[in-house]
Amino acid sequence: SSSTPAATDDASGDEYGLVKAGTLTVATEGTYRPFTYHDEGSGDLVGYDVEIAEAVADELGLEIEFQETQWDAIFAGLESGRSDVIANQVSINPEREEKYLFSSPYTVSPSVVVVNEGDTSISSFEDLAGKTTAQSLTSNFYQLAVDAGANVEAVEGWAQAVALLEQGRVDATVNDELTYLDYVKENPDAKLEVVAETDPTQSALAFAKDKTALVKAVDEALETLRADGTLAEIGEKYFGADVSE
Amino acid sequence: MDSSGWQLFLDSFWPIVWGGLGGTIPLALASFAIGIVLALVVALMRISKNRVLSGVARFYVSVIRGTPLLVQLFVIFYGMPAVGIVLDPWPSAIIAFSLNVGGYAAEIIRAAILSVPKGQWEAGYTIGMSSGTTLRRIILPQAARVSVPPLSNTFISLVKDTSLASLILVTELFRVSEEIAAFSQEFMLIYLEAALIYWLFCLVLSSGQSALERRLDRYVAV
Amino acid sequence: MDSSGWQLFLDSFWPIVWGGLGGTIPLALASFAIGIVLALVVALMRISKNRVLSGVARFYVSVIRGTPLLVQLFVIFYGMPAVGIVLDPWPSAIIAFSLNVGGYAAEIIRAAILSVPKGQWEAGYTIGMSSGTTLRRIILPQAARVSVPPLSNTFISLVKDTSLASLILVTELFRVSEEIAAFSQEFMLIYLEAALIYWLFCLVLSSGQSALERRLDRYVAV
Amino acid sequence: MSPSEFEQDPTRSDAAGRRPAAGDPLAPGATPDDAVLLTARGIRKSFGENEVLRSIDLEVRRGEVVVLIGPSGSGKTTVLRSLNGLETPDSGVLDFDGGPELDFAAGITKQGRVAMRDRSAMVFQQHNLFPHMTVLENVIEGPVRVQRVPRARAIADAEALLERVGLSDKRDAYPFALSGGQQQRVGIVRALALRPDLLLFDEPTSALDPELVGEVLKVIKELADEGWTMVVVTHELGFARQVADEVLFMDGGVVVERGAPKDIFTNPAEERTRRFLDRILRPLD
Amino acid sequence: MSPSEFEQDPTRSDAAGRRPAAGDPLAPGATPDDAVLLTARGIRKSFGENEVLRSIDLEVRRGEVVVLIGPSGSGKTTVLRSLNGLETPDSGVLDFDGGPELDFAAGITKQGRVAMRDRSAMVFQQHNLFPHMTVLENVIEGPVRVQRVPRARAIADAEALLERVGLSDKRDAYPFALSGGQQQRVGIVRALALRPDLLLFDEPTSALDPELVGEVLKVIKELADEGWTMVVVTHELGFARQVADEVLFMDGGVVVERGAPKDIFTNPAEERTRRFLDRILRPLD
Ligand SMILES: Nc1ncnc2c1ncn2[C@@H]1O[C@H](COP(=O)(O)OP(=O)(O)OP(=O)(O)O)[C@@H](O)[C@H]1O
Ligand SMILES: Nc1ncnc2c1ncn2[C@@H]1O[C@H](COP(=O)(O)OP(=O)(O)OP(=O)(O)O)[C@@H](O)[C@H]1O
Ligand SMILES: [Mg+2]
Ligand SMILES: [Mg+2]
């Protein structure tokens, strides 16, 4: 199949310059629970970001196709024109804003400092100074920890970070509150606690710089979905709360 | 392993195996087959007296072996579109892995060809054969025998290296394990299971190697 | 490449090289040195007539070659704490890579030992040497010559495989590149730069190989 | 199929550019006569600085056996290889009866070398049988692949030749399963099957156990008796004496002395020849 | 240093458990006398189903030269290897003068094998020099590493031996740079440097160019003349005739015939011996 944008006249959405006419091609990791992951392990691709993207595509009258790959390759795919949009809890920061376009945010949630239960030596971001945290490199939590003066060990993802924390090899990990909540929901025995949280961070869909028309349409779609309660509904499903504002 | 762990292990087994049968194995087989042909060409180029040919071959081998496979994949899948070449995941993966095998196997094949005694070339010439015919009829069948063990090493490495293909959207054994690990957060258990399944595949493939060696050894005293 | 890309390339160059000199190279050298010693032991076990020893060696080689290095690293770093063994990143990495090299290099060394003509063992015995002395003084020096090229392949693969060490918190060449890529969002450019730097390292290491081969070849007709 | 079928098939000889065999499978491509088959003049060859052949002249008549003797490194093998096109001399002229004259100084085309190679066949010291082929496959490989002889006929021919050297029962064996003498006899048959005008032997018995030498020498002697033209490098002086029409003693890349075997062996003109013969015939003196 | 220094150093012979050399560096560890050095009785050896030695008896007196001849595969090499401890017979008794009697049927300890091996030294057909060591290093390896002779003395000894066989100028060469005959002479020196009671030669000239055979045979003959005790496997019948005190003809794992060379060669009692000799001496008949 050729990915050159050779939209036919009657295909909808050809004004967006889509990778594949009539289809929104969405890049996502597929291994980042609860935002993008496989149900029952290797079942259907599900998750908060996945359903948001599906709702947006539906609203735009487009088919949807997911491309699953590692974080390393997600932005390379966007830039090389292999995908139209990234739906993977990409948080908005100045470096990224310089290179990509963002939709309006669909997740607003604080970052939290997670420690082992009973560890009283850390009770704020400032306390991370001189402590060791485990972060996945590609998240903005990495930056938060570094800024707080922590000694950061880079890991693959949440699971490894928690493993290190529980094995006592790091003092804390910084992550999205939603990730933490999902984890303790699945692992009620986990002896972890949140000791601090930031102001909320915003995550949004990311696009290549030349996709202004698409971004505009997506923003409108998000607005509609917000208005008709779909975003809140998806939030309820995964977190028991609306996290889109 | 507690009973829920055991259950997860069992539930994951077939999905991971299918990831192997549907991704890892066909990808490895196709890339290996193409890579070997490429390697043969490169090996002959390196042996050739033509300075340009052997220089090109030497450079190719050096770059392939000197740079990470991950970057090679990246360049072919995410870099080539910049020059207007857009390939689908599977063709990209097969091209990248074939080029990689080509670089490693070329040196093995070159050594195997050189290990056939010079007298065999001369015996071919003296019965009137051209270099090409001698190569094909006399030298390569003998070189095959010597090169099976190292090539099977290359193949077994390839089987595991194909896990990088998930980077360019190909679903294979390890990708399936990562999905399960991400869902269940039981990465240690699942990765061990993946390792076990890789190992089983490799055992099967190694027994293929032994069979091939026996076949090629039929003309050698035991 | 536009000028800001070029600037990023220049700014990243030394950090990535330092990642290599401070992480990749010492990790590769240490693991290779230990791995070779291990490989020698395993090779001798496999050659030995003792069924148990050779069975153990065979199993070890099969597992090491049959399972992904990533899983081996994970087991040692994340898995061992379950049985009370908690190792720091560097020791874990060195142990994992040494074990890995041990498995691959054992087969190379075994083949090299077997390639020394039987007459050399007998010549050792007939001047009164024990098996051990013959091995050390007569056989290994000759096996070294044969095994340098394949071992250098193993070493060069190892140099690139050390990038997996970042998964267990060791900072090396590729880790540094990933950090720069993540913050600059210039994945393609930075990965190409990393590949270039790997390649430069490999060129240097290969020239070391050539020098070693020349040294070992001094007693062979040219 | 009887070996004499070779004669009944005129196409074969045309295809291979060689004369049909006589009734006996061991018989050469031509009945011996006194025509000159091969003339070499002023053959020179250097490897780097090392001048290995310094103007060698050689004339071989049809049906004649020429034996080359001389110390190691004197250039005997290089002479044979030059005749077979395995080595290209730096200068000199080679003239095979019926072919174009080849002037090496003027450069020689690939076709020229192939044409020259097709006239002769070499039997090597180390036999160089193809280890991955059975005895029969070794023998028919040249006729079938190169000369395009129909496979059935090539097999029949090969079987006749193998029978003649006493190896019929080994036709499906692989070389490793044969003794040295048997291997060398297969090597000879492989050369014969090409029906060359000229057979070249490079120390065909020197890699053999002493008791196996006889069986190979006997086969070569029979070939000589039946009129094959051959050039033989050997250290078996007794054999040379019985078989050779002419003996050439080489040393340092030149032919020091040449003549009938009885003259050379009993009364060499040159001191160098005498010393060489002494060393071989009376090693302990 | 003069070769006779060996005599001036009584510790040496003790350390190595061997008798000091006579004045000449080529002289054996003992002056020849008629004492029996080695007795082997009923030596049997099978490889799998293949019974290679079927009760071999052998007696070697000090200073004597025993020559083994026989067709390929008759077991000659296996006899030598059994004497040198490279092969362990299935049964039979081996008795080196002054050492314990070894009964193979009763099993033999590692020490027993080592003790036996230390009494003799083997010269191989393919010389088996250590390619990664210079000539001198090859020769002193055994004395220095195994016998713990001081390095300087071992070097002096080696140099004297090398000079005696005409290889002084090659002491720092690597084996690849030597001719076959030179390599074989180094192989002999390497064995001599161990000052063994018994020298074993396994076809020491059969891998050599014919003109190089003489130089090696001459060295062996000199050793014999000087009283070294040796067992030699060879196909050089002229040499055997001149040098042997006793000739054993082996076939199929048994000693078919034994006696003085003149008897065996001119008037063999057994038909098998006669046929074997004929094949070697008159290959073309
Ligand atoms: N391919 C080659 N490259 C360099 N030198 C060579 C080559 N072939 C032969 N020579 C040299 O040419 C000389 C003659 O070699 P050639 O093999 O013709 O001698 P020969 O008379 O056949 O000796 P031998 O009895 O040992 O076979 C030798 O000095 C040899 O080293
Ligand atoms: N290690 C071994 N394993 C199995 N069979 C062997 C082994 N060594 C020798 N033989 C067999 O023992 C028999 C005698 O071998 P040996 O080498 O002693 O004969 P030989 O008289 O020295 O012959 P040659 O003249 O060919 O050297 C042969 O049939 C040989 O195949
Ligand atoms: Mg020669
Ligand atoms: Mg033998």
DSSP string, chain A: ---S----TTSTTGGG--SBTTEEEEEE-S-BTTTBEETTTTS-EESHHHHHHHHHHHHHT-EEEEEE--HHHHHHHHHTTS-SEEEEEEEP-HHHHHHEEE-S-SEEE-EEEEEETT--S--SSGGGTT-EEEEETTSHHHHHHHHTT-EEEEESSHHHHHHHHHTTSSSBEEEEHHHHHHHHHH-TT--EEEEEE-SPEEEEEEEETT-HHHHHHHHHHHHHHHHTTHHHHHHHHHHSS----
Q: Is E73 in the pocket of ligand 2 (CB under 6 A)?
A: yes
Q: Calculate the average pLDDT of chain B.
A: 91
Q: What is the pLDDT of residue A55?
A: 96
Check if D52 has its Cβ closer than 6 Å to any atom of ligand 1: yes
Interface ipTM:
0.84
What is the number of the ligand 1 atom nearest to the C-alpha of D76?
21
* Binary contact (E122, C122; C-beta < 8 A): yes
Find chains touching chain E: ≥3 CB pairs under 8 Å.
C, D
Residue D113: pLDDT over 50: yes
B220 min Cα distance to partner chain D (Å): 6
In this prediction, residues C132-160 reach a mean pLDDT of: 91
Using CB atoms within 10 Å of the CB of residue D222, give its burial: 0 to 12 exposed, 13 to 18 middle, 19+ buried: middle
pLDDT given at position E32: 47
Give the residue from C115, C127, C140, C219 with the most E CB atoms within 10 Å of its CB, the best one to mutate.
C127
| Cβ neighbours for E148, distance < 8 A, ≥ 6 positions apart | E15
pTM for this entry: 0.86
pLDDT in tens, C29-39: 999 999 999 99
Ligand 4 centroid – CA A131 distance (Å): 76
Give the closest of E206, E214, E284 to D284, CB-based: E214
The answer to whether E157 and E171 are in contact (CB under 8 A) is no
Q: Kindly state the tokens that stand for D133.
A: 């082929």
So what's the pLDDT on residue B1?
59
Contact B155, B141 (CB under 8 A): no
Q: Bigger pLDDT: E136 or D210? A: E136
Is B183 in contact with A182 (CB distance < 8 Å)?
A: no
Tell me, what's the pLDDT at D33?
57
Asked if pLDDT for residue D56 goes beyond 60, the answer is yes
Q: In this predicted structure, what is the pLDDT of residue B158?
A: 94
Which of D43, D46, D49, D50, when mutated, tests ligand 1's pocket best, judged by the most ligand atoms within 8 Å of its CB?
Answer: D50
Please identify every stretch of chain A with a pLDDT value under 50, giving residue numbers as ranges.
1-11
Relative to beta strand A23-28, strand A85-91 is parallel
Task: Provide the pLDDT for residue E33.
Answer: 57
Q: Return the pLDDT at D16.
A: 37
Contacts 24+ apart (CB under 8 A), A131-136: A131/A171, A131/A172, A132/A169, A132/A170, A132/A171, A132/A172, A133/A170, A133/A171, A133/A172, A133/A173, A133/A174, A134/A160, A134/A161, A134/A164, A134/A165, A134/A169, A134/A170, A134/A173, A135/A161, A135/A173, A135/A174, A135/A175, A136/A71, A136/A161
Q: Domain C3-219 falls in which CATH fold? A: MetI-like fold (1.10.3720)
Helix/strand/coil for D270: coil
Residue nearest (by alpha carbon) to ligand 2 atom 13: E73
Q: Check residue C181 and give its pLDDT.
A: 83
- Average pLDDT estimate for D147-169: 95
If 0-12 CB within 10 Å is exposed, 13-18 middle and 19+ buried, where does residue C144 land?
middle
**Hey, where are the domains in chain B?**
3-219
Tokens 């220089």 belong to B55
As a whole number, the mean pLDDT across chain E is 87
pLDDT in tens, D27-54: 555 444 568 999 999 999 999 999 999 9
D touches A, CB cut-off 8 Å, minimum 3 pairs: no
Pairing of strands E91-96, E36-47: antiparallel
Q: Is 70 exceeded by the pLDDT of residue E157?
A: yes
Chain D residues 19-78 within an 8 A CB cutoff of chain E = 71-72
Please give the pLDDT value at position D4: 37
B132-to-B47, B137, D119, D151 alpha-carbon distances in Å = 13, 9, 20, 21
Q: How sure is the predictor about B129, in pLDDT bands with cuts at 50, 70 and 90?
A: very high
Contact C199, B63 (CB under 8 A): yes
Q: Between B31 and B211, whose confidence is greater?
A: B31
Single-letter residue type at E234: T
How many angstroms does the Cα of residue D208 sit away from the middle of ligand 3?
A: 15
Mean pLDDT for E120-136 is 94
pLDDT band at C81 (very low <50, low <70, confident <90, very high): confident
More confident: D60 or A142: D60
Pairing of strands E246-251, E229-233: unpaired
* Helical ranges in chain D per DSSP H: 10-16, 76-83, 110-119, 135-141, 151-164, 180-192, 210-225, 237-243, 261-266, 271-281
> What rounded mean pLDDT belongs to chain C?
90
Atom 24, ligand 1: which residue's CA is nearest? Answer: D72
Closest CA–CA distance from residue D164 to any residue of chain E (Å): 17
Mutation test of ligand 2: which of D179, D209, D213 has the most ligand atoms closer than 8 Å to its C-beta?
D209
> What whole-number distance in Å separates Cα of residue E267 and Cα of residue E277?
11
Taking alpha carbons only, the member of B161, B157, B152 closest to residue B93 is: B161
Which pLDDT score is estimated for C221?
Answer: 57
Among C4-13, D109-118, E223-232, where is mean pLDDT lowest? D109-118
Q: With a cut of 80, say whether residue E7 has pLDDT above it.
A: no
CA distances from E88 to C186, E60, E66, E79, E125 (A): 71, 19, 21, 10, 20
pLDDT-derived band at B4 (thresholds 50, 70, 90) equals: confident
HSE value, Cβ hemisphere, 13 Å, CA-based, for B110: 22
Structure tokens at B218: 């039929």
Look at residue B55 and give its three-state secondary structure: helix
Choose from D130, D179, D202 for mutation: most chain B CBs within 10 A: D130
User: In the numeric block, which tokens belong to residue D274?
Assistant: 């005498």
